[in-house]
Structure 1
C-alpha cells in the first residue's frame, strides 16, 4: 500500500470512490472535489494498492475549531496556517474495508497534521462510527451543528 497526496489526474477516480462510499445527498460533487484538489492538494491523501486507488482522506485547514457545512463546498475557506485539520471524508472502496486500510490512511493523516504543528483534527461522523474514531484518540463532542445531507452528525476532535 502506498499513500500520497492527490494530483489533478486523480479526479475521476476520486469522484467514483466518493459515490461508492456516500449516498448522493452526502457525497461531494465533482466540482467540489476539483476545487479541493486545486486549493489544498497537500491536504488530500490517496491510498493505492499498486496502481489501484482504494481510498482517500481530505479536508481543509482552518482556525475555526468546528466543522461547518459551508466548508464542504467553499474551498476558499482553507487557511494553510490554520490550527485545525478538518476531515471531510474517510473513503475506502467496499472490497478493501475491514482490512486496516482506512486505519493506515487515517494514521498517516494524523501524523501529517501533527508534523505540521496543528492543534489537532476535527471530523464529523454518524453515531455508528463514533467508537471507530475513538480508537484513534478522537473524542466525541456530541451532536454537530452540521445538517449536511439531512443526517445527524457527531463532531469528533483529536487534540495533540
Structure 2
C-alpha cells in the first residue's frame, strides 16, 4: 500500500534521486545526464515536479517551455531555446523508480503537472513517447500526432499533444 504521497517542485537536493530514477527507467542512450537535470531544476523549477513518499523522491516529471510546435530539437533538452513564457510545455521525462511503479504515482504526477500547466496559462503540453505508451497518455487526453522525426537514443518516437485551451 502506498503511504502518503507529496507532489512538489524539485530543488537541488533532489538531483541525485532524480538522476537515479532517470538512469533506472531509461536506456543509457535515452536517459538525461545529471547535468541536464541540474540545468532543468536551476533554469525552470516551474516545470520540474517530484513525487515524494516518506521523505524519498520516487518519481519525477520535468519539462521546458517554448513557443515552438516542433519539439524534436535535441538542444532543447539542454534548455537551449527555452522560453519560460512560451505557450507550450514540453515534457522531457515522466518516470517513477522501479520499486514504486504500478502504484499510480506517474498518473498522479501527470495529473498534477497538467493542472500546474493550466495554472501557468500554457496552451498545450507536448511530449515524445514510444508506441506502447501512446494509449497511456491518451487516457489523460493527449492526442497522437503521429511519428516524430526525432531519433533520440536511436528509438522511434510518437509526438503527442494535450491542448489546454478551451
After TM superposition, the structure 1 stretch with the greater mean CA deviation from structure 2, 20-29 or 89-98, is 89-98
Flag as ranges the 4+ runs of structure 1 deviating above 2 A: none
Gaps of 5+ in 2: none
| Selected match of 1:49 from 28, 49, 53 | 53
Match of 2:155 in 1: 151
Please give the TM-score of this superposition, normalised by the length of structure 1. Answer: 0.96
Match of 2:40 in 1: 36
Match of 2:131 in 1: 127
Aligned partner of residue 142 in structure 1, secondary structure? strand
Any conservation in 2 of the 1:66–1:122 contact (CA below 8 Å)?
no
Match runs of 1:55-134 below 5 Å: 55-68=59-72, 69-72=74-77, 74-134=78-138
Q: Deviations over 1:42-84 (max 9, x none)?
A: 2110000110111000010100112122211x22422111000
Deviation at 1:22, TM superposition (A): 0.4
Aligned-residue RMSD, C-alpha: 0.9
- The CA distance in 2 between the partners of 1:70 and 1:146, in whole Å, is 12
- The CA distance in 1 between the partners of 2:65 and 2:145, in whole Å, is 19
